Amino acid sequence: MYSVEWQKRGLPHAHIFWLVEKIRPNEVDAVISAEIPNVQVDPGLHEVVIKNMIHGPCGTLNQNSPCMMDGKCSKRYPRTLISETITGNDGYPLYRRRSTADNGKSTIVKLNQQDIEIDNRWIVPYSPILSKTFKAHINVESCHSVKSIKYICKYVTKGSDMAVIGIGAENSNDEVTQYQMGAMSVVMKQFGEYFLFLFMRHPSVVHLAVHLENGQRVYFTAQNAVQRAAQPPLHINQFLRQPKR
């Protein structure tokens, strides 16, 4: 399943979910990583991760970061360094984030014209094969909690913005702002069938409630009870016409 939204940034942002086979604790590291790759082993993956998968930096390094709320990072960065992936308390694993003393890697990034050393505490979890394929920011998580069902239902049913309203000066027509606010969303909705669907579910199977034969719940109101009795469904008429044994 996937759902596309824009988050008022002008470009599409997708939430994609796979529910095929569960990932066991000893298989997480083979699918998801939260560490800086070894530049000597895989320079291509190292470049993609350094460019796209570093959070912030925020906190004491940058109080003006968009993720900061009440003096803290709303995304809980920097994360805790840990030598092995373990099960977390919120339905998500605590991914392996080795320190530089434990063979973990670090890199240098520029922030406000200053060089800052970044280690695995700042890496957003990713899938190496997806990062190398698309060379973009793709956050991949393993969720082993019932919260995953709530997460899926929330994102695929909440829909997108219906309208954008603003107050401006008389006879003002800021075409750039109008384009940034809604043009991409409108184009995707109008022409999405040609190059990108806004929502997809596969397989498109709806689970039906299980009940015994003729045991489904039927609700009557004062308005439809008389009409139902006067014009019963076809299968009831056939039943009434059968000769009594």
Mean pLDDT of 89-115: 88
The DSSP 8-state label assigned to residue 25 in this structure reads G
**Hey, what's the torsion of the CAs at 97, 101, 103, 108, to 10 degrees?**
70
With bands split at pLDDT 50, 70 and 90, how would you rate the model's confidence at 194?
very low
Contact 3, 156 (CB under 8 A): yes
Q: What's the pLDDT tens digit per position in 202-225?
A: 667 666 667 777 777 777 788 788
What's the pLDDT score for residue 195? 46
What's the pLDDT score for residue 130? 93
Place of tokens 């094969």: 129
pTM reported for the whole predicted model: 0.66
Sequence-distant (≥ 6) Cβ neighbours of residue 44 within 8 angstroms: 132
Q: What's the pLDDT tens digit per position in 117-167?
A: 999 999 999 999 999 999 999 999 887 777 666 766 676 666 555 566 667
Instruction: Using alpha carbons, list the distances in angstroms from residue 212 to 122, 193, 209, 238.
Output: 55, 41, 10, 20
Mean pLDDT of 40-58: 94
Q: Which residue in 142, 31, 155, 35 sits closest to 93, CA to CA?
A: 142
